[in-house]
Chains A and B, each alone.
Chain A
Amino acid sequence: MGKPVETVIITVAALLASALLVALFIAFTGNNPLDVFYTIYRGAFGSSFSWQNTLVRAAPLMLAALCTVIPARLGLIVIGGEGAIVVGGLTAALTGIALSDSGPWIVIPAMLIVGMLAGGVLVGTAGALKYYRGVNETISSLLLNYISIAVLMFLVVGPLKDPATLNKPSTFSIGDANMLGSIGDSSVHWGLAFGVATCVLLWFVVRHTTAGFAGDVVGGNARAAKLVGLPVGPLVVAACAVGGAAAAIAGVIEVAAVHGRANGSLNAGYGYAGILVAFLARQNPLAVIPFAILLGGIRASGGLLQRVHDLPDATVLVIQGIIFVTILASDLFYGRFQWRPAVVPASVATPTTTQPAQ
């Protein structure tokens, strides 16, 4: 069976299996699963209003997912999306405040550049620590998330606080004139365009450039990559930095298009949900787009679920968790199905039950 076909079949089967598990869970709560599924559909994709809700949520998910996707191609598990969003948004807000009199055509690009640099440095640090010091990248990126959030909260509650923001401590505003608008008449801001464009661009880099190919070689076998002379260290750092910069765009957009200031809302969990999108998309930047929309839709339907079925807002978290676990469990089935009998080498035909499980 061709690999892409296998991937599509197993992913669809896993989504159906998770739908079944979700249905069981909903039935357990005393609701009719079909009714609830219909409500989720209505809340996510049923009207242009719900589509807009979905897409607004999908945009940061796409960008956050890339923070896990790009390093994963080199065999790293990076979960620093949340931290990259936070430092991206924070530094972008500071840039916007400093340049607020220069007009949007200066402010927005400057915010993007500074934010992406900050996110790239943050997650790139995790990559550098991995390669040059052997520090586990999953743990270090997790720690960097916590440190970034603490720095954000310290600054917006303390030295950078706009005294006018009482209930929700925030930085000063970047100015209404500098805000990033919406696409056409919709309520969907330009973040969606940034998200889709970044996914497509990185898909092109990964699939059609030598740098992308080199990254896949490192992911396949880092030792072999080194032996053929690939710069493994710089590639690892660059992949992490690119991922961090992508996630940071989500933070920049949250500031430039939604809040106009940096505050605790930057830490909204998009980074962690992005990890789920990355694994759903099997670390393919292009596949990130539909799965981010799917997950954005499920998250957008939370309010309607609450109103129609009196289900708590945590329902979408449970659904999200069930999908995530099922998708990972579906990894069990790769390579199990063959259209024609595989040619088995004699040496492998002996019982392989003694293979150690790692």
Chain B
Amino acid sequence: METEFGVWSVVIAVLGGAIRVGTPFIFVSLGECLTEKSGRINLGLEGNLVMGAMVAYATSYYSGSAWLGVLAAGASGLVLGLIHALLCQSPKVNDIALGIALMLFGTGLAFFLGKPFIQPQAPRLPSLELGAWSDSPVIAAALNINALFFVGVAAVFLVHWLLQHARFGLRLRVVGESANAALALGIQVNRVRLMATMAGGFLASVGGSYLSLYYPGSWSEGLSSGQGLMAVVLVIFARWNPVHCLYASLLFGGAAALGPALQSVGVTSGYYLFNAAPYVLTLAIMIYTSSARRKLAGMPAEFTQ
């Protein structure tokens, strides 16, 4: 590869990669954040992500509209979220185990239904070429930003505003902090959690549509590298704050882009270790910030039960 910037090309590639690789992280972590704020954990967003990717690609292929694909992906996420929320209404059903089950179900169903779409080309999502002013292909590539990224950023601030100021957001937080207090206020706990889980599922599946419709940009069974599972980790990293979810997603996207960026300038050894960097980082942060005696700062209190 042309190294007109030397080491800087790695930095630029990582910054561009932070946005390109980090965009699906924004959606899944925001979705998980919303669900967890209501006091429930959905470990199955990986299923939503893969399902969303398949549905988006298939819809885009048949309809010719990538944006319709994004919406269809979201709808599939609503359904998976609905299943999770309905079954978890009973305290007898374990929400973590059900998340793993729905993850296996979602990915299995997506692989099954997605078989015919591995070959054909579907219309992709448009991107904004913000780097058109530059003659350098490195900068132009880094600033070629997909429209869905801006949708994701908008969604982050919308959810943040919703949680801070809107009536529904306040109710959702009460449910997450104390189901008993919410009941005393006459809030229907299960209904709020149902809506939060469905909305979370919607967002996660939209994140999946980015994978198949923009980057890597086609449907295949190896499409996801566990971004959906990382959602749970990102939310802990972001301390249940939607805006911090955005920063965390970009950071993890950048970390994930580091391996390929180094590979492109000839540093090939340790590729897999660089890929593991986000996981090691998260584990270290969890160990450092956790305590056996108190809950994590920012964690919804209902969550510890």
Query: Which A residues lie at the B interface, using CB under 8 A?
Result: 77, 79, 129, 131-136, 138-140, 142-144, 146-147, 150-151, 153-154, 157-158, 272, 275-276, 279, 312, 314-322, 324-325, 327-329, 331-332, 334-335, 354, 356-358
Q: How far is the CB of B188 from chain A (nearest CB, A)?
A: 10
Please pick, from B43, B91, B291, the residue contacting A133 in the complex, using a CB distance under 8 A. Answer: B291
Q: When the two chains form their complex, are residues A150 and B275 in contact, meaning their CB atoms are under 8 A apart?
A: yes
Q: Give Cα distance in the complex from A276 to B103, angstroms.
A: 12
Interface: B283 (CB within 8 A): yes
Q: When the two chains form their complex, are residues B105 and A138 in contact, meaning their CB atoms are under 8 A apart?
A: no
Q: How far is the CB of B40 from chain A (nearest CB, A)?
A: 9
Q: Give Cα distance in the complex from A255 to B6, angstroms.
A: 43
Q: When the two chains form their complex, are residues A321 and B287 in contact, meaning their CB atoms are under 8 A apart?
A: no
Stretch in B108-116, B148-156, B197-205 touching the partner: B108-116
| Contacts A/B (CB < 8 Å), 20 sampled | A77-B96, A133-B287, A133-B290, A134-B291, A135-B290, A138-B43, A147-B283, A150-B273, A154-B271, A158-B270, A312-B115, A314-B109, A317-B108, A318-B112, A321-B106, A327-B101, A332-B90, A335-B92, A354-B183, A356-B189
Q: When the two chains form their complex, are residues B273 and A154 in contact, meaning their CB atoms are under 8 A apart?
A: yes
Interface: B133 (CB within 8 A): no
Known: A133-B290, A134-B291, A139-B236. A357 touches B272 (CB 8 A): no
* Chain B residue nearest to A29 in the complex (CB): B112
Q: When the two chains form their complex, are residues B292 and A320 in contact, meaning their CB atoms are under 8 A apart?
A: no
Q: Give Cα distance in the complex from A141 to B283, angstroms.
A: 10
Binary A-proximity of B102-142 (CB < 8 A = 1, otherwise 0): 10111111011001000000000000000000000000000
Q: When the two chains form their complex, are residues A135 and B287 in contact, meaning their CB atoms are under 8 A apart?
A: yes
Interface: B226 (CB within 8 A): yes
Interface: B267 (CB within 8 A): no
Q: When the two chains form their complex, are residues A147 and B90 in contact, meaning their CB atoms are under 8 A apart?
A: no
Which of A144, A272, A322, A358 has the largest number of chain B CB atoms within 10 A? A358
Q: When the two chains form their complex, are residues B92 and A276 in contact, meaning their CB atoms are under 8 A apart?
A: no
Q: When the two chains form their complex, are residues B100 and A275 in contact, meaning their CB atoms are under 8 A apart?
A: yes
Interface: B190 (CB within 8 A): yes
Q: When the two chains form their complex, are residues B279 and A138 in contact, meaning their CB atoms are under 8 A apart?
A: no
Query: Given A324-B100, A332-B93, A358-B305, 12 more contacts at CB 8 Å?
Result: A77-B96, A133-B292, A142-B233, A146-B279, A153-B272, A154-B270, A317-B104, A321-B106, A328-B87, A329-B98, A331-B92, A335-B92
Known: A331-B92, A356-B180, A357-B190. A317 touches B97 (CB 8 A): no
Total count of chain B residues near the partner, CB < 8 A: 57
Binary A-proximity of B272-294 (CB < 8 A = 1, otherwise 0): 11011001101100110011111
* Chain B residue nearest to A155 in the complex (CB): B272
Please pick, from A150, A312, A324, the residue contacting B276 in the complex, using a CB distance under 8 A. Answer: A150
Q: When the two chains form their complex, are residues B109 and A321 in contact, meaning their CB atoms are under 8 A apart?
A: yes
Please pick, from B109, B232, B279, the residue contacting A150 in the complex, using a CB distance under 8 A. Answer: B279
Q: Give Cα distance in the complex from A150 to B226, angstroms.
A: 13
Q: Give Cα distance in the complex from A331 to B95, angstroms.
A: 12
Q: When the two chains form their complex, are residues B112 and A320 in contact, meaning their CB atoms are under 8 A apart?
A: no
Q: Give Cα distance in the complex from A178 to B107, angstroms.
A: 38
Q: When the two chains form their complex, are residues A321 and B275 in contact, meaning their CB atoms are under 8 A apart?
A: no
Q: When the two chains form their complex, are residues A138 and B93 in contact, meaning their CB atoms are under 8 A apart?
A: no
Q: Give Cα distance in the complex from A275 to B109, angstroms.
A: 19
Q: Residues of A contacting B272 with CB < 8 Å?
A: 150-151, 153-154, 157-158
Q: Give Cα distance in the complex from A153 to B279, angstroms.
A: 15
Q: Residues of A contacting B182 with CB < 8 Å?
A: 356
Q: When the two chains form their complex, are residues A331 and B105 in contact, meaning their CB atoms are under 8 A apart?
A: no
Q: Residues of A contacting B91 with CB < 8 Å?
A: 357-358
Which of A132, A314, A315 has the largest number of chain B CB atoms within 10 A? A314
Q: When the two chains form their complex, are residues B94 and A331 in contact, meaning their CB atoms are under 8 A apart?
A: yes
Known: A154-B272, A357-B189. A334 touches B105 (CB 8 A): no
* Chain A residue nearest to B281 in the complex (CB): A143
* Chain A residue nearest to B41 in the complex (CB): A138
Q: Residues of B contacting A133 with CB < 8 Å?
A: 287, 290-292
* Chain B residue nearest to A333 in the complex (CB): B92
Q: How far is the CB of A229 from chain B (nearest CB, A)?
A: 19
Q: Give Cα distance in the complex from A324 to B89, angstroms.
A: 17
Q: When the two chains form their complex, are residues A325 and B83 in contact, meaning their CB atoms are under 8 A apart?
A: yes
Interface: B179 (CB within 8 A): yes
* Chain B residue nearest to A325 in the complex (CB): B101
Q: Give Cα distance in the complex from A357 to B287, angstroms.
A: 30
Q: When the two chains form their complex, are residues B104 and A320 in contact, meaning their CB atoms are under 8 A apart?
A: yes
Interface: B195 (CB within 8 A): no
Q: Give Cα distance in the complex from A67 to B7, angstroms.
A: 45
Q: Give Cα distance in the complex from A328 to B99, angstroms.
A: 10
Q: Give Cα distance in the complex from A131 to B183, angstroms.
A: 32
Q: Give Cα distance in the complex from A327 to B87, angstroms.
A: 11
Q: Residues of B contacting A142 with CB < 8 Å?
A: 229, 232-233
* Chain B residue nearest to A144 in the complex (CB): B283
Q: Give Cα distance in the complex from A356 to B283, angstroms.
A: 33
Q: When the two chains form their complex, are residues A328 and B93 in contact, meaning their CB atoms are under 8 A apart?
A: yes
Please pick, from A143, A144, A325, A358, the residue contacting B302 in the complex, using a CB distance under 8 A. Answer: A358
Q: Give Cα distance in the complex from A325 to B44, angstroms.
A: 11
Q: How far is the CB of B171 from chain A (nearest CB, A)?
A: 15
* Chain B residue nearest to A77 in the complex (CB): B96
Q: When the two chains form their complex, are residues A328 and B232 in contact, meaning their CB atoms are under 8 A apart?
A: no
